Amino acid sequence: MTGYIIRRILALIPVLLGVSFLVFLILYLAPGDPALIILGPKANATSLAQLRHDLGLDQPFLIQYLRWLWRVLQGDWGRSIQLKREVLPLILTRFQATAYLTLFSALLAILFGIPAGIISATHQYSLLDRVSMVGILIGFSMPVFWLGILLQIFFSIYLGILPVSGMQSPNQQGFPDLLRHLVLPSMALATGAAVIIARMTRSSMLEVMQQDYIRTARAKGQIERLVIYRHALRNALIPIVTVIGLQVGYLLGGDILVEIVFSWPGIGLLMMNGIMARDFPLVQGAILLVASSYVVINLIVDILYSYLDPRIHYQ
């Protein structure tokens, strides 16, 4: 097992290098001149040329990339043009807020998605199955920003029991207050992920429950609940874990709309503001951090595979 994990970690190195190259390439090809953004539209040609030389913007693309990569490896991710602050501490602070939202949303999606898929699979073609499939279709079709606004109207404005936006109340701090602010954005963000997890759980469970070992377990007189959770669900978990990993990656990088609607101070909102302001160092750092996190999530999913099915790490 240890050798398998080490091989998977070593395999991340070329992937992360490829991610860093693509991130730098995308921002290199993006319109806008960082020197002009820094000095302003009234800067003369001499000042612009001098600043481009100081920043290394007059060097060939590959030289610029290697210099940027070397600084990144040393912990120097640049300085925000707009905010005049070091990029790495800034994005780590915002990433923490996004991580809270992602983990809480993923937990909600798992707690609702897997049981819904199991119930639907064990009651196939029943009224309960049809109702759950209709609910899944509605949840999948609902835009996340629209759902977020509806949740704000109902729970914050009409009922007044949950905060409408932000991460903390002005006069309150601590984990309970954070949980209150997490509820609505997490519900909005978790709905789509829960729907996809439920559909995959139902499909995987239906396939597993047709296998011979399930019929054998039932023929031995085992309790149906034991058959479902010990035999069927355990063998159906690999595609479910795959989907969960993909959804966590999506939640990590795809919650910009939720952060905008709920004014959540996460990395998605920071990235959007950086794009609008042509803040290239900030956008590069944010994209690199999110993409690297997605790669690490895939590594965790691969390691979970080897625990769920020991045959994998022997291959």
d(CA 24, CA 223): 57
Its pTM stands at 0.83
Q: DSSP state, 124?
A: T
pLDDT digits (tens, 9 = 90+) for 68-121: 899 888 888 888 877 888 889 999 988 988 889 999 999 999 998 898 888 888
Three-state DSSP class for 86? Answer: strand
pLDDT digits (tens, 9 = 90+) for 191-209: 888 888 988 898 888 888 8
Mean pLDDT, residues 148-158: 90
Query: What is the 3 state secondary structure string of 6-52?
Result: HHHHHHHHHHHHHHHHHHHHHHHHCCCCHHHHHHCCCCCHHHHHHHH
Mean pLDDT, residues 34-52: 75
Mean pLDDT, residues 294-310: 80
- The distance of Cα 283 from the centroid of its chain, to the nearest Å, equals 17
pLDDT score of 271 more than 60: yes
Tell me the average pLDDT of the chain. 83
Cβ 19 vs Cβ 288: under 8 Å: yes
The rounded percent of the chain whose pLDDT value lies above 90 is 6
Mean pLDDT, residues 125-151: 80
The structural domains of the chain, with segments of one domain joined by +, span 2-73, 87-314
Give Cβ neighbours of residue 156 (< 8 Å, ≥ 6 apart).
162, 163, 164, 184
Mean pLDDT, residues 151-169: 87
pLDDT score of 313 more than 70: no
Cβ 80 vs Cβ 278: under 8 Å: no
User: What CATH class does 87-314 carry?
Assistant: mainly alpha
d(CA 66, CA 24): 10
- Quick one: pLDDT at residue 110? 92
Q: Which two tokens stand for residue 60?
A: 């060939």
Place of tokens 């954005």: 185
d(CA 90, CA 83): 10
Phi/psi of residue 281, nearest 5 degrees: -60, -40
Q: Which of 17-21, 143-147, 308-312 has the highest mean pLDDT?
A: 17-21
- Quick one: pLDDT at residue 311? 62
Q: Look at 75-79, 156-160, 229-233 and tell me which has the smallest mean pLDDT.
A: 229-233
Q: Which residues pair with 79 in a beta bridge?
A: 86
Mean pLDDT, residues 261-274: 86
Three-state DSSP class for 15? Answer: helix
- Quick one: pLDDT at residue 130? 81
Cβ 135 vs Cβ 128: under 8 Å: no
Q: Which two tokens stand for residue 213?
A: 């070992």
Give just the sign of the alpha carbon dihedral 43, 49, 53, 55.
positive
pLDDT level of residue 1 (50, 70, 90 thresholds): low
pLDDT score of 210 more than 70: yes
Place of tokens 């800034």: 90
pLDDT score of 152 more than 80: yes
Q: Which two tokens stand for residue 268?
A: 């998605």
Count of helix runs (H) and strand runs (E) in the chain = 14, 0
pLDDT score of 237 more than 80: yes
pLDDT level of residue 253 (50, 70, 90 thresholds): low
- Quick one: pLDDT at residue 312? 60
- Quick one: pLDDT at residue 135? 76
